[in-house]
Amino acid sequence: MTIPPQSLILVVDDTPTNAKVLFDVLKDAGFRVLLAQTGESALEKLQVISPDIILLDVMMPGIDGFETCRRLKASDSTKDIPVIFMTALSDTTNKVQGFKLGAVDYLTKPLQQEEVLARVNAHLRVRNLNQELQQLNETLEHQVTQRTEELSSALAQIQQSQLHLVQREKMSALGEMVAGVAHEINNPVGFIAGNLAPALEYVRDLFGLIDLYQQKLPDADAEMEAAIAAVDLEYVREDLPKLLSSMKEGVNRIRTISTSLRSFSRGDTGQTSDFNIHEGIDSTLMILGHRLKATPDRLEIKIYKDYSDLPAVKCYPGQLNQVFMNILSNAIDALDERDQCRTVETIKTDPSTIRIWTEVINQQWVGIHIVDNGSGMAEDTRSRLFQPFFTTKPVGKGTGLGLSISHQIVAENHLGKLHCHSTLGEGTEFVIEIPL
């Protein structure tokens, strides 16, 4: 360890002869030297300079060396400067007092040149080592802080990726299950649908046959009249076709739901495919239909659609359906939360709505806008919306991953954009932009 050249030493001594000797010795040894004759003048100089070490006489007029040292150690700007006392006092009490005040060493007068240089060099080495150690500690603390932040960020990304993979596996398994259920439903529904039309014809034929019997045998006996009255023939004649027609509508409804389930749950094979955006939105709305209808607890959430003429989009259909599901589910949650604080009369006057409209942007993008008239969000909430694990829902009601995963699907997997515009008290709009 070498002493940096031109280290600055402040010598404080009220005896000019002693000060001059020290000045010459230290100067010849390569140090820069400043002199002060009193404690007061030394404190004044220390307001504008920062020496590497101070040689301080104990016995001085005005404030002595002990008081000068006490004031030095009480100031943040000078407390770390090493102080070596110079004194003719040799009793232990004075030395102990000096060390208690923060001095690092003593030089006993009359001073010896070799001892002065040896002690000054030794304490300068210690000071420089302490400064280097402090710098290393600061650098290490900075590196630890930086590394901790990097590790925390990496851990959050790993957790998000793991949960995303779990979510994808769940969606994939759910998709296979739903597709299987839809397929199983389609078979019996197909049988029923195929048999309804002939059944209706059979009913018409039977009623025609009954009419023919009544024409040929107009005078039915009492037993026949009683049988006709028992089955309420005229009511059956009127109601049975309606019943079959209602069954046909129900079958068609089941077919529509089954088709929507298969469309929503279609798996992604790792390759993009042409996708009808509107069909994806409609299938998602079909699945969420039970949450949109009126219940004993709240009124219906109205859906308004304004679809433009969109081309098919090359994308991962299953992933985009997941985005639609996340955004629409959040919109329904927001509207439900707001309606809990509103009266039925207020809701009838200002019903909860979700408006969906699409557009082609500059012939290069497809834009999907999903707008609700809920309570909106504060800027602090909106700015953190796509962060992993951020949620405004109560514990157990959400993972905080839905919108984060949606943003990843749109921005990374489709090189698109996902924006949120929201003002507290004025509702929320999500804009999905997918390149053509």
The verdict on domain 8-111 having CATH code 3.40.50.2300 is yes
Rounded to 5°, the CA angle 298-300-301 comes to: 110
Backbone angle region of 385, left / alpha / beta, with phi > 0 → left and psi within -120 to 50 → alpha: alpha
Distance CA 31, CA 120 (A): 10
Beta bridge partners of residue 298, listed in sequence order: 295
Instruction: Give the H or E element holding residue 21.
Output: helix 16-28
Tokens of 295: 């219940």
Residues near 211 by beta carbon (within 8 Å), at least 6 away in sequence? none
Q: Where are the domains of the chain?
A: 8-111, 271-436
Position 375, amino acid: S
CATH number of 271-436: 3.30.565.10
Residue burial 131-167, b: 16+ Cβ < 10 Å; e: rest: eeeeeeeeeeeeeeeeeeeeeeeeeeeeebeebbeee
DSSP 26-64: HHHTT-EEEEESSHHHHHHHTTT---SEEEEESS-SSS-
Q: Contact 382/283 with Cβ under 8 angstroms?
A: no
pLDDT (tens, 9 = 90+) of the chain, 436 residues, equals: 455 557 899 999 999 988 999 999 999 998 999 999 999 999 999 999 999 999 999 988 889 999 999 999 999 989 989 999 998 876 677 788 888 998 999 988 888 889 999 999 999 998 888 888 888 988 899 888 888 888 888 887 776 666 666 566 555 555 556 666 666 676 777 777 777 888 888 888 888 888 787 777 776 677 777 777 787 778 888 888 888 887 877 777 777 766 666 666 555 556 788 999 999 999 888 888 888 888 877 889 999 999 999 999 999 888 898 899 889 999 999 899 888 888 888 888 899 999 999 999 999 999 999 999 998 988 888 888 888 766 766 555 555 667 888 888 899 889 999 999 998 888 999 999 999 8
Backbone φ and ψ for 199, nearest 5 degrees, come out as -60, -40
pTM: 0.49
Closest CA relative to residue 272, chosen from 313, 311, 316, 319: 316
Tokens of 86: 């110079």
